[in-house]
Structure 1
């Protein structure tokens, strides 16, 4: 059985005062919660791992460099992320692909670096609104999967997150049929490439304006194993109901 995962991406939000939300989240988790991963800014990684010590919450970074060390001002390596106590790292988020022009090859190199450091890579894929309107969604998703995932993928080192770019932070949510179509396609593609054992074991998360009001319906979709949540993960009062909905799915 695949793990259920509720991941929160704080993006460029949060200071030391925000760590109190982690305590509130830990206190509000349901009994037998799913796997919970919070990804704060890199400035908070070490303090976040300390703040969640002894709780079910794991901490992840929002990016890492493909190289382990070197003259890369402003970047952090996967080994630095691991050294902070974090266990996961988000890679290939649409905001990185767009604003920083990251390619599938870049994401694949970073994924290898994450694995080498003992981190679980949360690899993001997703289409733009123009690509959706042009009926290119599955072609885009398939290409990103092929280019972003190294051959040594398994359920221990990788999580896939489908985030339709046009739904991130916009309040727009694909129909249940659209979510199911893409997640079923991803599952089939993974099985075709990596075999049934690995392809069926890899967790698939949905991301894109997930809220307490739509979480139950989304988590009922076959091949949706959890969510990668943005704004609604910043406050425990907003994220706890999403985690609870996943626990009950």
Structure 2
């Protein structure tokens, strides 16, 4: 299965940051995986222009459930698609925790994304307390079942397992823990989507860097990565991409 490596810039980046995309193009020309860069909304159109004709796709970090309406400050999937986005990250732990997004909301956003022609990267993950309680698998299974849209398929959906306690902390689950969760997510995907569930890519996210990427990618059901801080610099991101070859 061809790996997917996605970079989530979060609320980072000004116009000058687009130089990183130009650099990334040069560093990853022969990459044997799919590459996505998800900058802030303000940079999507310019980033898409910068990446045009290359192997790099541009994604967004969220979208609304509706196509239009009186939703001040929000942005629809159709708008993102028109700006040049091809992917959208949905249900990230920061959206779930800070903005109280439920599984149902994430599923509705994923449906809206699919209808507009965007592929969704749907995030799931447990907190430190949930991990310590021994309910990590229950949490991610529930999130996945509740967040999958009805029309989910390998062409329009990827799943990202991001243990909340590992995001931006430098902490990383053991290889066995990553393997356990990814195998469990694969089982749910096969139960929900049948044969198609075997083809949906499951990414790992949470303090991914060049020093640990290779060992993480060696886990059978890890089909890529959702990278945060390490995606802001093309040189750092390119090393992770190289590890996925």
> Could you tell me which residue of structure 2 aligns to residue 84 of structure 1?
83
Distance 2:25 2:178 in 1: 29
Of the structure 1 ranges 220-229 and 32-41, higher mean CA displacement relative to structure 2 is found in 32-41
- 1:3 is displaced (CA, Å) by 2.4
Moved over 3 A (4+): none
| Cα contact 2:38–2:60 (8 A) shared by 1 | yes
Residues 43-97 of structure 1, C-alpha deviation per residue, up to 9 Å, x if partnerless? 0000000000111000000000001001111110000000001100000000000
Q: CA RMSD in A?
A: 0.7
Distance 2:173 2:29 in 1: 28
Which consecutive unaligned segments of at least 5 residues does structure 1 have? none
Distance 1:49 1:109 in 2: 25
| Cα contact 2:29–2:55 (8 A) shared by 1 | no
Which consecutive unaligned segments of at least 5 residues does structure 2 have? none
> Could you tell me which residue of structure 2 aligns to residue 31 of structure 1?
30
> Could you tell me which residue of structure 2 aligns to residue 173 of structure 1?
172
Count of residue correspondences: 245
Distance 2:200 2:112 in 1: 19
SS at match of 1:36: strand
SS at match of 1:160: strand
Distance 1:44 1:234 in 2: 13
> Could you tell me which residue of structure 1 aligns to residue 220 of structure 2?
222
Distance 2:31 2:113 in 1: 28
> Could you tell me which residue of structure 2 aligns to residue 243 of structure 1?
241
- Give me the TM-score of the superposition, normalised by structure 2: 0.99
- Give me the TM-score of the superposition, normalised by structure 1: 0.97
- 1:30 is displaced (CA, Å) by 5.1
- 1:152 is displaced (CA, Å) by 1.5
Distance 1:237 1:224 in 2: 22
- 1:233 is displaced (CA, Å) by 0.1
